[in-house]
Structure formats: C-alpha cells, structure tokens
Copies of this chain bind each other. A is one copy, B any other.
Amino acid sequence: MGATKSEIFTPAQNHMARMTKALAHPARIAIIQYLFARRSCVCGDIVDVVGLAQPTISQHLKELKSAGLIKGSVEGTSVCYCIDQKNWSVMKDLLSPFLNLDAAILNDCC
C-alpha cells in the first residue's frame, strides 16, 4: 500500500490529477506566477524571490518540468526557465471544463 492506484482511473483523470498535483504547493504556485510576471526567468532569481533554499527550489523546478508546465535552457552559467506555453494550454483545456461544471443547477440534496 501507500502508492496511488492509477490503473483503476481513466487517463484523463490521471492526467488532471498530475497537473493539479504539480500545482499543489505554494512554492510552485509562486514560481509559476513569477514566470508569468516575466521579471526574470533566471533560476537564481527564483531562489531569491521565493525564499526557500536553492536545492529545494531546484527540486520544485524539476517537478514542474517533469509535469511539463515549464521548460529550461542553459544560458551561460545560469539556467533560464519559462512556462511551456503548449502544455500550459493543454492543462487549461483539461481543467477549465472541470472547474466550470455548473454547481448552481444541482438540486442540492445536502
């Protein structure tokens, strides 16, 4: 036990959970917001702004990257991280219809 039973869910459900999981930490929310704000894409700047230790940020960046939400490229001695526009869009198209499910039409039985 202890590991998620992915086999019993649909690919879409697993994909959605994978995306929400990537966003399920305030540091990763902060990183994404910073990248959208476009002040900088440099890894070191992210470390300074977010306020966690460098290895911790590196770990969070790795998770965002493996989820496909960001991509990185080496720029001299530093590394530049950017939103992966295509995958971000895919995620949006997956999550938006879910969030927009209209709860108002439900006959509230609770």
Contacts and interface: CB of A to CB of B under 8 A. Distances in A.
B29 A17 contact: yes
Contacts of A36: 101, 103, 106
A106 B17 contact: no
A96 to B, nearest CB: 6
Contact of A85 (B21, B38, B81, B104): B104
B9 A30 contact: yes
19 contacts: A4-B27, A8-B50, A9-B29, A10-B26, A13-B33, A14-B26, A17-B29, A21-B21, A29-B98, A36-B101, A36-B103, A41-B110, A80-B109, A82-B108, A83-B103, A88-B103, A95-B99, A96-B99, A99-B99
